């Protein structure tokens, strides 16, 4: 049995994948502590994990305030470090946007792994900038065009590195030279479909494990009666406060020969919405119970919702609102498993046409079923758990070797210096680039 410390802030798109990983590790007999927001305490403890309340600082700017991510990281690091020091885990696993556990693990000399609960954000030669939502170029001219913009992209990454290094200095860590310095160089797990990743040469410590999915327990919700195709409207739980997508869907699909199940996801409706006869509007719905019966899913292209739809064999109508949603929408369009509707076009008419295409294009449905079959044969949480176990085993073997070579008892619990941990290779199994990444 190993001890693991997991850390993720509390937004569902980041807390849920980490909760799924922790639940799988606990089920495999390990001692797991999960530090996250208090709203998930009961769910964490129900899986057999130990809950640790995380400092709850706002991660994203509100009301026009400047972005202060690294200030919150520094504030949270002291609390998290003390917890890590008390627990002495074999491995720390942190969410890509939750850096306090990563810094705490490094300060305490514990191996650190990163969980990326969406597409891999690191670019490659000729790729468009991540989150822009542009498709990968198909020609040499297109690749050259994106290379001309690389300088401005690199400038933003260097600024991010400078801010990270300032935070590292404040907690007593040396600077990092690499860009994307918040990602582990030991083990980086990417929780998405490999079919959504553009072909590239993958670093040896990075593995696309497949979607890592979890959702709170909820009762089954009855769809509208009838036999017509069922379309689910699944808006973001964090974006689009005016419910523009939801309102456009209900206004545009009321006269279509389909059934519509829509949810406002427990986010207040400032004004009433007219609900057509073919539609049922509810506060919440279990995606895992509902999506397998759907013919299409309309969403903002948040990664968790999109991945669940594809794992259920549903083509996606993706209307990206902000953040990395544009990238997700571009990838599902590129992979041939959905229809992309840019946010500026979201309205009843364009959304109706997008849904018609999603329902009538047999190739989209077939591709979604292919991804569902892949997900059925490749459980992301299990693969990630195995990789984390491997990192713990490797660190344990290194600790025993260090103890014996220093003349200490083989039972000594030292895990080696931070420098030794930093320079060692990841415990992940050696896979070829084509085996790790099977996108078309």
pTM of this prediction exceeds 0.85:
yes
Question: How is the chain split into domains, by residue range?
Answer: 3-122+183-210+378-436, 230-376
Please tell me the distance from the alpha carbon of residue 188 to that of residue 387, in angstroms, as a whole number: 10
pLDDT tens string, the chain, 440 residues long: the values are 999 999 999 999 999 999 999 999 999 999 999 999 999 999 999 999 999 999 887 655 555 555 577 888 999 999 999 999 999 999 999 999 999 999 999 999 999 999 999 999 998 888 888 888 888 888 888 788 777 777 777 888 899 999 999 999 999 999 999 999 999 999 999 999 999 999 999 999 999 999 999 999 899 899 999 999 999 999 988 788 889 999 999 999 999 999 999 998 888 887 888 999 999 999 999 999 999 999 999 999 999 999 999 999 999 999 999 889 999 999 999 999 999 999 999 999 999 999 999 999 999 999 999 999 999 999 999 999 999 999 999 877 766 565 555 454 333 222 233 333 233 333 333 323 333 332 33
Please tell me the distance from the alpha carbon of residue 273 to that of residue 281, in angstroms, as a whole number: 9
- Tracing tokens 């170029």 back to the chain, one arrives at 137
Please tell me the distance from the alpha carbon of residue 59 to that of residue 45, in angstroms, as a whole number: 24
Q: How far is CA 336 from the centre of its chain?
A: 21
**Per-residue pLDDT tens for 373-422?**
999 999 999 999 999 999 999 877 766 565 555 454 333 222 233 333 23
- Other beta carbons within 10 angstroms of residue 78's beta carbon come to 13
Please report the sign of the dihedral spanned by the C-alpha atoms of residue 320, residue 323, residue 329, residue 332.
negative
Q: Does 3-122+183-210+378-436 match 230-376 in CATH topology?
A: yes
Fold of domain 230-376: Rossmann fold (3.40.50)
**Per-residue pLDDT tens for 108-160?**
999 999 999 999 999 888 888 888 888 888 888 878 877 777 777 788 889 99
Q: In what order do the strands lie in the sheet with 206-208?
A: 50-53, 31-36, 3-7, 91-95, 112-116, 187-190, 206-208
CATH class of 3-122+183-210+378-436: alpha beta
Determine contact, residues 69/61, Cβ cutoff 8 Å.
no
> How many alpha carbons fall within 13 Å on the CB side of residue 328?
28
Q: 282, 309, 388, 335: which is closest to 3 by C-alpha?
A: 388
């Amino acid at each position: 049995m190993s001890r693991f410390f997991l850390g993720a802030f509390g937004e569902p798109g980041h807390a849920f994948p980490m909760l799924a990983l922790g639940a799988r590790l606990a089920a495999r007999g390990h001692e797991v502590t999960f530090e996250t927001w208090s709203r998930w305490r009961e769910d964490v403890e129900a899986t057999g994990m130990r809950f640790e309340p995380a400092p709850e600082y706002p991660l994203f700017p509100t009301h026009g305030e400047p972005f202060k991510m690294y200030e919150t990281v520094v504030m949270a690091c002291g609390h998290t470090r003390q917890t890590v020091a008390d627990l002495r885990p074999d491995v720390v696993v942190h969410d890509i946007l939750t850096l306090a556990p990563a810094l705490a693990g490094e300060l305490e000399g514990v191996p650190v792994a990163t969980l990326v609960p969406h597409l891999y954000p690191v670019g490659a030669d000729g790729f468009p900038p991540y989150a822009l939502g542009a498709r990968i170029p198909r020609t040499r001219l297109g690749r050259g065009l994106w290379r001309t913009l690389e300088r401005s992209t690199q400038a933003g990454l260097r600024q991010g590195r400078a801010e990270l290094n300032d935070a590292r200095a404040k907690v007593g860590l040396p600077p990092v030279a690499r860009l994307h310095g918040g990602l582990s160089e030991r083990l980086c797990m990417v929780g998405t479909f490999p079919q959504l990743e553009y072909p590239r040469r993958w670093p040896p410590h990075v593995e696309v494990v497949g979607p890592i999915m979890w959702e709170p327990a909820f009762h089954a919700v009855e769809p509208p009666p009838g036999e017509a195709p069922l379309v689910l409207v699944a808006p973001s739980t964090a974006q689009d406060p005016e419910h523009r997508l939801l309102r456009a869907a209900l206004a545009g699909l009321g006269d279509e020969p389909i059934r519509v199940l829509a949810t406002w996801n427990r986010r207040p409706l400032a004004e009433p919405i007219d609900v057509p006869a073919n539609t049922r509007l509810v506060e919440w719905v279990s995606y895992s119970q509902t999506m397998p019966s759907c013919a299409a899913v309309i969403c903002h292209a948040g990664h968790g919702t999109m991945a669940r739809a594809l794992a259920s064999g549903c083509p996606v109508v993706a209307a990206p609102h902000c953040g990395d949603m544009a990238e997700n929408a571009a990838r599902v369009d590129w992979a041939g498993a959905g229809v992309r509707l840019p946010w500026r076009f979201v309205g009843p008419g364009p959304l109706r046409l997008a849904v018609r295409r999603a329902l009538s294009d047999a190739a989209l449905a077939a591709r979604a079923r292919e991804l569902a079959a892949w997900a059925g044969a490749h459980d992301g949480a299990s693969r990630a758990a195995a990789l984390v176990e491997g990192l713990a085993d490797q660190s344990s073997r290194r600790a025993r070797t260090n103890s014996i070579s220093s003349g200490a008892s083989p039972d000594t619990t030292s895990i080696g210096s931070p420098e030794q941990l930093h320079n060692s290779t990841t415990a992940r199994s050696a896979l070829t680039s084509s085996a790790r990444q099977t996108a078309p």
